[in-house]
Amino acid sequence: MTVAPQRPAAPGVVGTAHTRVEGRDKVTGAARYGGDIPFAGLVHGTFVLSTVARGRIRSLDTAPVLAMPGVLAVLHHGNAPRLAGDYVGMLGVRPDPTALVFQHDRVPHAGWPVALVVAETPEQARAAADALAVSYEEEPHDVALSADRPDAYPAEGHMPGVTEKGDLEAELAASAHVVDAEYTTPEEHHAMMEPHVATAWWDGGRLDLVDSDQGITWVADEFARMFSLDPSAVRVRSEHVGGGFGSKGVRAPQVAAAMAAAQLDRPVRVTLTRRQMFSVTGYRSPTVQRVRLGAGPDGRLRALEHVSLNQTSTVYEFVEPGAGVARTMYDATAHRTENRVVRLDVPSPTWVRAPGEAPGSFALECALDELAEKCGVDPIDLRLRNEPETGPVSGLPFASRNVAACFREGARRFGWDARDPRPGVRRDGRWLLGTGTAAASFPAGALPSTAAVTADADGTFTVRISASDIGTGARTALTLIAADALRVPAERVRVHLGDSDFGPSGIAAGSMGTRSWGWAVAAAAGELRERLVPGGELPPEGITVRSDTTQAIAALAAKERHTWGAQFAEVAVDVSTGEVRVRRMLGVFAAGRIVNPLTARNQLVGGMTWGISMALHEEAVRDAASGALYGADLAGYHVATHADVPADVEAVWVDDHDPDDPVGIKGIGEVGIVGAAAAVANAVWHATGVRHRALPIRPDRVL
Ligand code: MOS
């Protein structure tokens, strides 16, 4: 699709469609990704990953490998520098020891990095890594997640594991209608296009790290702590990023590259293969969720319980907070949520697009659909009857809550009113047809950021911010925000990002990137505009204004702040093969002020597409015998392709400015996937009359 770049009149650039400012660079190959930046004397490292799932490294036979052509070093626990790992970083969490490679001889999971082979060329490094013989003292491992594990425990992390109010059992007993169901979601992987890559070089004692990350300041901050450096002695650059989805924080490649570069005093690049990504870069934990709902005859909730269990590694507690969505979406007289964890001999999971909300909304929104069926109430009506006045757990007022507006607009566009509520009654040849809906929500936060905006002597403007555009269109959005605040056309603004030397800023995650950075850019640009004298002369170096939003964003905490949405899906189910096809999908979102409708639609449709993939395709299967994944590549791990996704996937939005954000932004990175899988699953029920509570809804499960 091509859309002619608009020439928006200034002011009012925010909200107008604009093609990506780096689009030409990307399609012509001029855009440099992490693995493209040249370094003189560059050498290459390849990881050797453990073949056992638990145990100890007994020995590494490095001598034959060191004699191979071009091989310069083999880094492992016996010769690697020790890192500081006992700190709480800028995101308020401890580092995942999974990233701190070569610190001990323990192997906590299959595919754990046990060595890095460095050679003059990538091919030499790869050949030598393949040849490295490692022997292990193997121990029995356990990778089986199940609901009844006695060693599961309520999460202890920075977010409460349990919330509860009221007498749940009493309210359930007094309810006219009860749903009590278990839902499961499988292990899912980010599978972004660009694999993780990092190049490190110690430039006169200063670490110069070029990588592919979604948090420049975050990575720089962690490296300073890990390597016990002054923050000014670390520079991180990430110019273009081919997708992140939560996995591109501090990972083994950056750490190993920095270690090897120090040892060899040369720039070292570490690139992961697609297969290595499946054990080295995190993933979404499988979940086992139990939802209990109790309602009066009118469908109003008296009892709501959502318990979600996820796995984590033996070395780190990562919580996929599936039950968190119930803390926002629905209230009940008795309300209980619990996020539980069990430690297995598996890699640490991590954030994956809409962590918690994506799997949590599958369980909760399917359970709501089941309750609607039992009550004989329309699923949208049931949700509208259960709209809370304030945050069900926090008790705080909502900054805005436009769930009802999303459902009303969606019902109108989708043609919901003509729906026959009975399941299994619509047919198109061998296909059974059905429609389903689900609500969506995602927290709308912000992180402190700094930005600098310069009025250049030639009449243009330069924004400098250490943001990371992971493919979302952040560069373009920040261009529009700056132009709007400066009241100049977007063509007069250029945005430089992806460099920690531009000062601290928030991360491209948690749907907070553009929001956090946009705030800082708008603040600096707005102040700069006030300082400029119309027709006045500029000094040769221009005039620069810097901003810091640390104080300003603190005010956000006074209210519950979320994006909202309503997802709609129509499916066809082939009763002879069990195949499910999504025929059309609509998402209506209340997601703050939309800065660039073009890239916003991309983001939301992308999230919904991932929801289709989650509902029908994605599933990483762990082999109990080896503790590793079957088919850990894009042949074995099926991500929805064009053939799986209908042309008719549309995302629209209702007016929903955040009243406390200077631009009105909330953040759109993640809400698109939330509820999408539930809408598909609810449509499959409507088509067939059968509830599918385990994802993905594979043909063999449908039959
Ligand atoms: Mo997202 S999972 O916060 O990159």
* 643 confidence band (pLDDT: 50, 70, 90): very high
- Amino acid present at 429: G
Q: Quote the pLDDT of residue 7.
A: 37
Nearest protein Cα to ligand 1, atom 4? 246
How many whole angstroms from its chain centre is CA 544? 34
351 in ligand 1 pocket by Cβ < 6 Å? yes
pTM for this entry: 0.97
Measured in Å, residue 685 CA sits from the centre of ligand 1 at 30
Query: Taking a C-beta distance cutoff of 8 angstroms, is the pair 573, 579 a contact?
Result: yes
Complex ipTM: 0.98
Q: Strand pairing partners for 572?
A: 433, 581
Residues marked active site are found at: 670
CA 356/CA 339 separation, integer angstroms: 9
- 10 pLDDT exceeds 70? no
Measured in Å, residue 676 CA sits from the centre of ligand 1 at 17
Q: Quote the pLDDT of residue 569.
A: 98
Ligand 1 closest atom vs CA 512 = 3
244 in ligand 1 pocket by Cβ < 6 Å? yes
Q: How does pLDDT run across 577-634, given as a tens digit for each residue?
A: 999 999 999 999 999 999 999 999 999 999 999 999 999 999 999 999 999 999 899 9
Domain residue spans in the chain?
23-31+447-553
Q: Quote the pLDDT of residue 1.
A: 30
The share of the chain scoring above pLDDT 90, in percent, equals: 96
245 in ligand 1 pocket by Cβ < 6 Å? yes
Measured in Å, residue 509 CA sits from the centre of ligand 1 at 4
- 9 pLDDT exceeds 90? no
- 58 pLDDT exceeds 90? yes
- 6 pLDDT exceeds 70? no
Place of tokens 């297969």: 275
Q: Mean of the per-residue pLDDT values for the chain? A: 96
pLDDT, mean of residues 93-99: 93
Q: Quote the pLDDT of residue 27.
A: 96
CA 211/CA 241 separation, integer angstroms: 9
Burial 102-123 (b: 16+ CB within 10 A, else e): beebebbbbbbbbbbbbbbebe
Place of tokens 């063999």: 700
Ligand 1 closest atom vs CA 214 = 4
Contacts of 7 (CB under 8 A, 6+ apart): 489, 491
Q: Quote the pLDDT of residue 533.
A: 85
CA 437/CA 587 separation, integer angstroms: 10
Measured in Å, residue 669 CA sits from the centre of ligand 1 at 8
DSSP string, 353-391: SSTTHHHHHHHHHHHHHHHHHHHT--HHHHHHHT--SB-
Ligand 1 closest atom vs CA 351 = 2
Q: How does pLDDT run across 14-41, given as a tens digit for each residue?
A: 999 999 999 999 999 999 999 999 999 9
Cα 554–Cα 559–Cα 564 angle in degrees, nearest 5: 115
Burial 171-183 (b: 16+ CB within 10 A, else e): bbeebebbbebeb
Secondary structure of residue 181 in the 3-state scheme = strand
Helical segments of 490-569, H only? 513-531, 550-553
Q: How does pLDDT run across 444-461, given as a tens digit for each residue?
A: 999 999 999 999 999 999
Backbone angles phi, psi at 330, to 5 degrees: -135, 145
Query: Taking a C-beta distance cutoff of 8 angstroms, is the pair 456, 462 a contact?
Result: yes
352 in ligand 1 pocket by Cβ < 6 Å? yes
Q: Which of 341, 289, 344, 290 lies closest to 154 in space, CA to CA?
A: 341
Q: Strand pairing partners for 197?
A: 271
509 in ligand 1 pocket by Cβ < 6 Å? yes
91, 245, 320, best to mutate for ligand 1 pocket (most atoms within 8 Å of CB):
245
3-state class percentages of the chain: helix first, strand second, coil last, to nearest 5: 30, 25, 45
Ligand 1 closest atom vs CA 353 = 2
Instruction: Kindly list the distances between the CA atom of residue 619 and the CA atoms of 522, 606, 630, 675, in Å, as whole numbers in the listed order.
Output: 42, 18, 10, 18
Q: Which phi-psi region, left, alpha or beta, contains residue 328 (left: φ > 0; alpha: ψ -120 to 50)?
A: alpha
pLDDT, mean of residues 631-651: 95
Backbone angles phi, psi at 652, to 5 degrees: -130, 175
Q: Which of 587, 585, 567, 594 lies closest to 655 in space, CA to CA?
A: 594
Place of tokens 């490692």: 134
Measured in Å, residue 351 CA sits from the centre of ligand 1 at 6
Tokens describing residue 464: 């400098």
Q: How does pLDDT run across 269-312, given as a tens digit for each residue?
A: 999 999 999 999 999 999 999 999 999 999 999 999 999 999 99
Tokens describing residue 626: 């080896």
355 in ligand 1 pocket by Cβ < 6 Å? yes
Q: Quote the pLDDT of residue 11.
A: 58
- 237 pLDDT exceeds 90? yes
Q: How does pLDDT run across 265-279, given as a tens digit for each residue?
A: 999 999 999 999 999
Q: How does pLDDT run across 471-500, given as a tens digit for each residue?
A: 999 999 999 999 999 999 999 999 999 999
- 2 pLDDT exceeds 70? no
Tokens describing residue 64: 């034959």
Q: How does pLDDT run across 335-384, given as a tens digit for each residue?
A: 999 999 999 999 999 999 999 999 999 999 999 999 999 999 999 999 99
Query: Taking a C-beta distance cutoff of 8 angstroms, is the pair 188, 352 a contact?
Result: yes
CATH of domain 23-31+447-553: 3.30.365.10
Backbone angles phi, psi at 581, to 5 degrees: -115, 130
- 508 pLDDT exceeds 80? yes
188, 470, 670, 671, best to mutate for ligand 1 pocket (most atoms within 8 Å of CB):
670
510 in ligand 1 pocket by Cβ < 6 Å? yes
pLDDT, mean of residues 91-116: 96
Q: Which H, E and C letters describe 577-598, residue by residue? A: CCCEEEEEEEEEEECECCCCHH
Measured in Å, residue 355 CA sits from the centre of ligand 1 at 7
Measured in Å, residue 71 CA sits from the centre of ligand 1 at 37
Query: Taking a C-beta distance cutoff of 8 angstroms, is the pair 521, 482 a contact?
Result: yes
Q: How does pLDDT run across 412-434, given as a tens digit for each residue?
A: 999 999 999 999 999 999 999 99
Ligand 1 closest atom vs CA 244 = 4
